[in-house]
Amino acid sequence: MTDIGLMAYFLGLVVVQKEEGIFVSQSSYVKDILERFKMESCNPVSTPVDNGIELRKSKVGTVDPTYFKSLVGSLRYLTCTRPDILYGVGLISRYIETPDQSHLNADKRILHYIKGTRNEGMFYTLSTNFNLVGYSDSDWGRDLDERKSTTGFLFFMGDTSFTWSSKK
């Protein structure tokens, strides 16, 4: 067994350990995603999902499903350190079987967003504050095809988020 020092990179995660805390990001993975899907020169946007977006299931997909599945899978892995895109990735994941152009546009909107927030990640600090704080939200039956709700939550222990989820 060999001690090679502090962890700096693991499965696409960049780990920076300092006295103030530990920062975990996937900035190099974001760069790889943008290059793989030829979006490295896209314009950044301020939100991952368009306000008021209404996606519907389509009977016949008009987009290459292999390309779409690859893009959704890449974004799904990115949610390990990016809870800010979790809702959008969950939304587009519903249409993975027969994607159409509106679904691909929603996918690409997330790529535009991560282009502008490439260096974002999770910062875990040392703290003596052990207050448990949670946030949740629901869209109350917004799914137009099945009339189901999407709900999500985020829990903090002190200043550090430790679990999050978004699901239909």
Domain count for the chain = 1
Is 54 contained in some domain?
A: yes
* Cα–Cα separations (whole angstroms), residue 68 to 74, 94, 136: 10, 12, 29
| pLDDT of 1 over the 90 cut | no
The confidence score (pLDDT) of residue 58 equals: 78
Is 136 contained in some domain?
A: no
The residue segments making up the domain with residue 56 are: 9-129
Sign of the alpha-carbon dihedral angle for 123, 115, 62, 101? positive
Separation CA 70–CA 75 (nearest Å): 9
Report the pLDDT averaged over residues 74-98: 89
pTM, to two decimals: 0.81
Is 2 contained in some domain?
A: no
Is 81 contained in some domain?
A: yes
Residues 133, 134, 135, 136, Cα dihedral to 10°: -160
| pLDDT of 144 over the 80 cut | no
Is 26 contained in some domain?
A: yes
Strand 13-17 relative to strand 21-25, pairing: antiparallel
The confidence score (pLDDT) of residue 162 equals: 81
The confidence score (pLDDT) of residue 161 equals: 82
Is 149 contained in some domain?
A: no
Region of residue 99 (phi > 0: left; psi between -120 and 50: alpha; otherwise: beta): beta
| pLDDT of 10 over the 90 cut | no
- How much is the mean pLDDT over the chain? 87
Is 66 contained in some domain?
A: yes
Is 135 contained in some domain?
A: no
